[in-house]
Structure 1
Amino acid sequence: ITASSPQQNVNLIWFDSATATTPIFTGSSFTTPVLTSGQSYFVQAVLGDCVSEKVKVDVAVNPSPDAPAITVNPASKQIAAGQTATLTASSATPGTTFRYYPQATGGLPLFEGATLTTPALSDNTTFYVEAVSASGCVSVNRTPVTITVTPVFSTTCDFASTQTNAIDNLCIGCTISNAENVVDADVSNFARYTIPLGLSGGSITQRLIFADQGVVGDTVQILVHVPNAVLTAQVLNGLQLTSYNGTTSNNDQVNASTNLSGFQVLNGGDQALLKFAPQAPFNAIELQLNAGAASTLTTLNVFYATKQIALPQLVQRATTVCAGGNAVFTVANPRADVTYDWFDAASGGNLLYTGTTFTTPNLTQSATYYVQSKRTSSGCENPSRVAAVVSVTPTPPVAVLTQNNLTVCAGESVNLSVNNAGNYLVKWFDAATNGNLLFTGNNYQTAALQNSTHFYAELVNGNCAGSARADAAITVNPRPAMPQFTNDNVTVCSGSAASLSISNPENQVSYEWFTAATGGNAVFTGINFTTPAITQNTAYYVQAKSTTGNCLNNGDRAVVNVTVANAISQPVLSQTQSSVCSGGTVTISVVNPSSALTYNWYTAATGGTIAYTGTSFTIKNLTADASYYVEASNGAGCISSSRKATLVTVLPAPAQPEVQSAGLMACEGSVTTLKIQNPQADQVYKWYNAATGNNAVFTGNEFTTPVLSANSTYYVEASSSQNCNPSGRLAVNITVNALPTAPGLAAATVIVCAGDKATFSVSSPAAGVTYRWFDSPAKTNKLFEGSTFVTSLLTANTDFYADAVSASGCVSSGITVARAEVAAAPAAPLLTNQLVTVCAGSQVTLSVSNPQQNLTYRWYSAVNGGNAVFTGINFTTPAISQNTVFYVEANRNGSCGSARSAANISVNTAPKAPVVSAQGITVCAGNTTTLTATTDANATIKWYGQASGGTELYTGTSFTTPVLTANTTYYAAAVSSNNCVSATRTPVNVNVGTKLTAPFVSVKAVTTKTITFGWNAVNGAAGYEVSIDNGKTFTATGTGNAGLSYTVSGLTPAQNVTLIVRAKGASECQTSANSQSITGTTSNPIGNTVWVPNAFTPNGDGANETVNVYGNTIKTLNFNIYSHWGELLFNSTSTAAGWDGTYKGKLQPVGVYVYYVEAVTNDGETVKLKGTINLLR
């Protein structure tokens, strides 16, 4: 609240009541404390000892609206990743609007309106909703709503892909059916474990094996289902989980009912995700379902197991920046083996950055970014992305000042304002940058200024300020000093002129002389002023005015008094005879003294020495009678014609009086009477409110005090009837007991039905205080004492009266009126719709058809008793899922209620959401596809392009899409014959195939006979094809992890194979380009070694029939065998052609033969060998 005064150098002082004397603030702008109800404040201007009237300022406080109530579709508040939810806000406060935020406090709203459809969500998300009343007041708290998101998993990697299972011998009758369903790519089928009811021992185990290694930090999630049961951790008491590394257990077995790292019950209540975090490297998870301990758990369905990398968690999911600024998002759960990619879209889109901390570009509008986690070693991604929302606050313009150059005099304030504030906040500073915040508001009234200065205005939008501050330059001209005179009081003879002079003249200052303290015209301007002839006492006034800025001196005009000297009369004394006690003091004063005269006191009628000079002469410590004389003189040396005499007689002092004890206690706000004990007739008793001083408050034997509000002390003294010097003063202490507060009632007016009793209660009864109840304000007939008063039976309006009495007998100053009003019960209300039929999950608005003024209509879910579910004429029910009855009663003044009228609601069952046969279909760009859905009998399928709302595209079970060029989602809804619509629409994602990325191929392993090639998984790939003939023909490798490698076998050491790989999509148009060819070479452990056996047995048994040259790298060969006589028996140029022990068709004899080998290897090395061979038979 800002106040101002047209007068200079005024202090503005604020109070919280019209009668308050203690200020709560001093200054021109007062900021109130936090207010919850209307409040009045009072401001007063103060200048020196002068004060103005208090001005009242009323502050009206509008109530805050109730926190909003939120309904969610789906009502379970649970969706699958990538889906949306619809939040609808309502409030009991009429005329409210709503704002949705990502934070519990602060920030910018994500959305304004009653109904918010969320973006596609990838993980659990909390929204916060506040209500805003028509007056702009905001609800005290924001209502939180958490949407639980069921994760979506990629089946192409990080899924268990093989399994083993076993049933021990004790588990008689136990079965595991469709065990392979857990490890296939279909997440909707399952393996079923079955244990006979009552079996006391045995178990079923299934080990789910992953294609690649899991590491510490991975969490395995297993989807399970218990038919016909609400699934809790305790239900799974007999299920245990263990991790394995190969065939070795990690010894980390946990019980599913107590030791999981997470347990998430899914929509419907009979499915759950079990989350298990192994504490050692692993490649398999074993589930063991035990008989006996499982109690009633006899059937368990297991769908899949995945160690999919966890979603990123952000330090903050949403933030607000100023336009042109950037935001920083940081992953709160980083892992060394995980890559974090940031995108500009929830799916697809552009990769913007890779890393744990992402800094956005400078933004001019709000934006949403998405971060995705990916296993670095395998490239396996979590398909869901987490949104990071940046809200951009517009930057306000530079402030435009109403005036930016002003000139004032020292001590004056100025009012500064901004022309273009609009809805922006205006802040005023003492510097162009940084500096101190002086004031917040469009109109700034500065303090009194003494020096030239600058003020700077800045427009602010939230936390964002304009690019610069507007400069208001204030020139402050100094004020001249208050004029001073050579002589403030001048005496002249009648008819003479007076010479008046300024004693402190300044340069560039003019001095104007007036005959009035304010207003009028100057009679002279200058430093020295000679008055006209003066015949009577006259005052002149002068003000100083600067020639620059015309600033006047501070304060009022200076005054000089000119006195005309007249004949001086003998002084008149206040007393010419007086009495005083011995040692006492007497003061004798001149009656109506003249300020132009001097009064001199003497001890003699003539002559003598001056004893005192002044208008009042105080003579102390008198012990004997004495006479004194006074004369008057003026400045011109005149004196009165004679001295005036006064005689002082010294009298003895009386004894100190005594006071009766009665009257020494009183109630606050009352009086009491103090009495002299044994008063003396010849003495006068004077009563005082101070131990010293001469201002008696009463004279007499009995003193009745004024009204008392606190403990008080009075003093009494005795003096003689001649008013002699008094006795010593006696202190009389009065104890004042506080009055109790008039009773405050829990309800001052109670409305009851005729023939009922009314109950009144003191809202905060005080200890030790008695509360009395009367039937009239005269309090002649007391009805009851106590803090709760129950009346007799009432048939007419009646007033009762209550006061409070403290333990000391003090009665409250006020009396409280309690009114009992008798009202007749209203008639039962009529309904516009007593019988209503709706679809399950719908809401109904029930209305009173004959609403009456001054009646309140309350709606209940029971015919009698209970709490009202709504108050008002028109009641919109919550979503109705079964036949329901609501009841409404009319109520007058919150007390008398009518009989309740019933509204019956019948519910038609909505059909189930359609089941679509072509989920996730992929087509080539420019083609159409046909989607087919089924639902309940007698229900119709309608197709839409939106999850809710929108225009119907087609009606029928089979819908042929238009030509598609981009990924598109369609939604199928079921509509029954009674027009009830399924609770949700079933989404169908149709992906338009784009060319896949070519795989990156490498050699993974080699042996002497095989080469294994491997490549990275390509997003969207359904399988892969390889070619070893440079792309002429291709062979399919398989799907999933099994399709990410290819082994060429039947090779020889050091043999080369060149491989090309391409990725295949769901449609032919997605086939990737060929990868770069890569060549692998089989291993060759013996290198360039060439050798010949030293014996062979060509005897026809099929073993060692020939002797050959061996080597893995032989390029050319010359192999000769000689007899021991040196005859050449055999020559070969190929390792495949060996000697069979014959020469020219004849068998050669057993014996030793000589061989000579000369070979050239692939790398050009020449190897020469010579040795012997034993021919054996």
Structure 2
Amino acid sequence: MKQTLLLRSILLLFFFSIASFVAPVVAQTCTVSVSASSTLLCQGQQVQLTGNASFAAESWEWYLQGQATPVATTQNYQASVAGRYTLKASGSNCGTIESSSIEITAGSVPGIVSFSSGSSKVCSGALVTYSVGAIASAQSYTWLLPSGWAIQSGQGTNSVTVTAGSSGTISVKAVNACGEGPVTSMAVNVVGTPGLPDVTNAYICAGSSATLSVQNPTPTFIYSWYATATGGTRIATGASLVTGTLTSTQKYYVQAENECGFVSARSEVTVNVSAPIGNNLIEEKQALCAGQIPESITGSVPTGGNGIYSYTWEVSYDGVNFMVASGQYNGISYSPGAVTQPIWLRRKVLSGSCAYTYSNAIYLSILPAPAAPLAGNATACEGGITKLNVHNPDPKLTYRWYFAGQPNGIFAVGPSILSAPVMQDTLYYVEAVNEAGCVGPRTSVVVTLVEPFYDNTIGEAHTICAGDIAVQLGGLAPKGGNMNYSYLWEASIDGVSYTAATGLNTTKYYSPDRLEQTTWFRRKIVSESCPLLVSEPVKITVLPKPEKPSINLGATTLTASIAGVTYTWLKDGVELSNVTTRSISFDAAGSYKVRVQNEQGCYSDFSEALQATPQPNALNSELANMGVSVAPNPTSGKIVVHTRQPLENAVAAVYNLAGKEVYRQAIGAVAVAYELNLAHLESGVYVLFVRTGKQQFVQRIIIVK
């Protein structure tokens, strides 16, 4: 490796020695050349000119064509003037050598461009061409577009085809080696989908039509009206729509279409159809005192219309001709000033497009002060309370009472009041006030102190049987007090605890109901103005009555089940005279009752009714002893009554088995026999009674035909 490097070094020294020896022998070439950083000299700039010589130049001269003197004497020159430049270089070996010329051309940035085609208003998304006039010095063109725009072709040229995006400004400038020219711009309005049309709801009364209008419509837009939010058939075009007659609230929809054919969404608009104005009422009339300021007249909240109401209160002095009232006349209520003469008031209400309505008219009358009330004096016992009354009070007036000790403070109100507890003779006043508040003169009322009630007697104690009606209780009216009292009768079964008596218990006299147990009665004298006065009680002792008897039935006798002193017998509801024994004989069928009287004179209740019929085979022992008999038996219709002893005042009677009398004959005196003709009776079993005085004969007979 070391040997190789040594060999290379020897060869290089050899070649350099040969060159040094030969050089002086070869002739030297003398040339001068120039170059430029650019052959284009842009306005306001300089071009670097560089000189080169093949020999060792000792001086340099730069010449601009057309000038005799050099413009520079340096090897390099910053040229600021366009033209043809040459360079002369001088040296001892070559003398003065001139270069070939170099042309520096003057240049400048392109001028301003101007649009030659393209619209300032385009449809969104449309394909549009924009062009500017060509500039000779321009080498290319730069286009600047608004947001959303896209160049489809022509970028760098003076004509581009673009897709429109948002509204904005299109800018373009020419470009060459000297730079960019001025920018030319065009504002472009990109037409997109229209916004919602601005429409306002309408308010009308039922039976009217409404006009719906787009607010600030765009003249170039087409407005279409529909009855549905989407789809449907167009019902009208134009910035306004006149509806037909409406009776209920309706919705309509309107859309806008621009010149690009873009259609907006639909705006909803409501025609609010209101009922006619109603419930326009004001409170009823007022009556006033002359010069009095009435209370505020209250009006109701109306109904119907569009819900927004305006009011006008009107006044009339004859009830016919009305004018706007004075003061604050446009509120829901109205406060008149002082009224010195009768007037009528009414309220006028207007709402939206509904026809106005009038309320009822009220009459404010002027009333005179009422007269002094008529009221009588009163009396009361010490500590009592009495009633004070206005005679024939007027229901339209208010009566106010005053106490003599407090004449300016109202004691009570009303046509009838209760006094304070009376401790001495006391003076009251009463005045009348009408509905307008007019006050009349006062009337004096004196309450006089009187002695209390006494002498309340009601009768004597007595005794009755259970179930009987006691004698009426009562006596003279009590003494003392005043006429302002009432009665109350009370009863007690133990003489200690009393309750209100039954029946009519508030009169001077009292008639107790039928009593079943011993009872005490008393009478109270009740008065608001005097102390209570209670009579001495009257005891009514109630004796027990016998138990209710029953009747024991014999063949021809009836016997009461309970022993007593005497008896009362009824047949078919009629008392049997001179029949007072416990047992009785009977010869006739019927409904029998009996009651018992005990030793205290009290009667029992009547027994239950007993339907009794004498037994046909029984004989009265006394008539049987006299030899009474009948034959034939059975019989076809005639029978003969036989007797061994004469009968006086005899009576014959025949009963069927139902107890009904079917034959009766007074036969008078019978010595031996008497024929009875019973041929009119039907076949059957009957009972024959033959009576004479208290004696009787009973026989069952059979009739066969």
TM-score over 0.5 for the alignment? no
TM-score between both structures, scaled by the size of structure 2: 0.30
- Radius of gyration: which is bigger? 2
Give the structure-1-normalised TM-score. 0.19
The higher-RCO structure (CA 8 Å, 6+ apart) is 2
